[in-house]
Amino acid sequence: MIDAHVHVWTDDKTRYPRVANERDYQPARFTPEDLFAHSKPVGVSRVVLIQMSFYRFDNSYMLDMMKKFPKVFAGVAVVDSKSPGVAGVMKDLRKQGVRGFRVLAGTGLDSDVMWKAGAENGQAMCALVGPESLPVIDRMCAKFPDTPVVIDHLARIGATGEVRDADVRALCGLAKHKRVHVKASAFYALGKKAAPYRDLAPLIQRVFEDYGPRRIMWASDCPFQVEGGHTYAASIGLVRDGLPFLRKEDKDWLLGKTAEQVFWR
């Protein structure tokens, strides 16, 4: 199985400095070894690493961990979308196992250069956005239909505690773009924000009905998924045991095959 969204960082701030004035996150560190204590007992063997925000454009810690654990990690990097050489940087990072780039509203989400390079290199635009930014993705997908796209955390629908029908319709509307994928992830932060997270089942089912299993991937969003009384097992357990509309074959896609075809190819 594959966890499609994990952040790792070290408390070694000398070797891996952080952006000045960036707030500190807890725990003080979350290394691959810390992750494995949660992921291996439930059968997760591969992971997509997402560059941590306080490292900004310095992807060296993530890349070093990918080298340290070959074949275990794929990477989603952060690059300067406004840099004149960003397309070349993206191509070079692909050689190091980077298969996607984190984009946000105002930071790469509407970058023609990045979307064009993503299509050419087979690298996904991994969008950390709320429902209000989905029209931008719609426009960019129409302009660059061959660019892979992954929408993080169900577009944060339900982050306020309310799953709004208009937001769900907007997310499902993007299914018309065949290269768009959705992460069913960060359950700790959506809806009632309480395990076993089965209040999210109707939302996930509606997304499933429009995207199908081959365009949805499960992810934990560790280490945040294992803070505040939440557990890794509860997150993966929602997909394994809490979504009765899924067949075994569907679960195989959500828990591994979809992420594999996007991030390991």
103: nearest Cα among 131, 74, 132, 133: 133
Taking the C-alpha atoms of residue 240 and residue 59, their distance in angstroms, rounded to an integer, is: 33
172-193 pLDDT, tens digit each: 999 999 999 999 999 999 999 9
Q: What are phi and psi of 150, to 5 degrees?
A: -130, 120
Q: Which pLDDT does position 265 carry in this prediction?
A: 83
Q: Look at residue 218 and tell me whether its pLDDT is greater than 80.
A: yes
Q: Look at residue 23 and tell me whether its pLDDT is greater than 80.
A: no
Torsion of CA 131, 133, 138, 144, to 10 degrees: -140
Q: Which pLDDT does position 43 carry in this prediction?
A: 96
CATH fold, domain 2-263, is TIM Barrel (3.20.20)
Least confident of 70-74, 105-109, 147-151: 105-109
Q: Which pLDDT does position 126 carry in this prediction?
A: 98
228-264 pLDDT, tens digit each: 999 999 999 999 999 999 999 999 999 999 999 999 9
Q: What is the DSSP letter of 179?
A: T
Q: 3-state DSSP helix/strand/coil percent for the chain, to nearest 5? A: 45, 15, 40
85-105 pLDDT, tens digit each: 999 999 999 999 999 999 999
For all residues of the chain together, what is the average pLDDT? 96
* Domain extent listing, the chain: 2-263
Q: Which pLDDT does position 247 carry in this prediction?
A: 97
Q: Which pLDDT does position 106 carry in this prediction?
A: 86
31-80 pLDDT, tens digit each: 999 999 999 999 999 999 999 999 999 999 999 999 999 999 999 999 99
Q: Which pLDDT does position 135 carry in this prediction?
A: 97
Q: What is the DSSP letter of 156?
A: G
Q: Which pLDDT does position 24 carry in this prediction?
A: 73
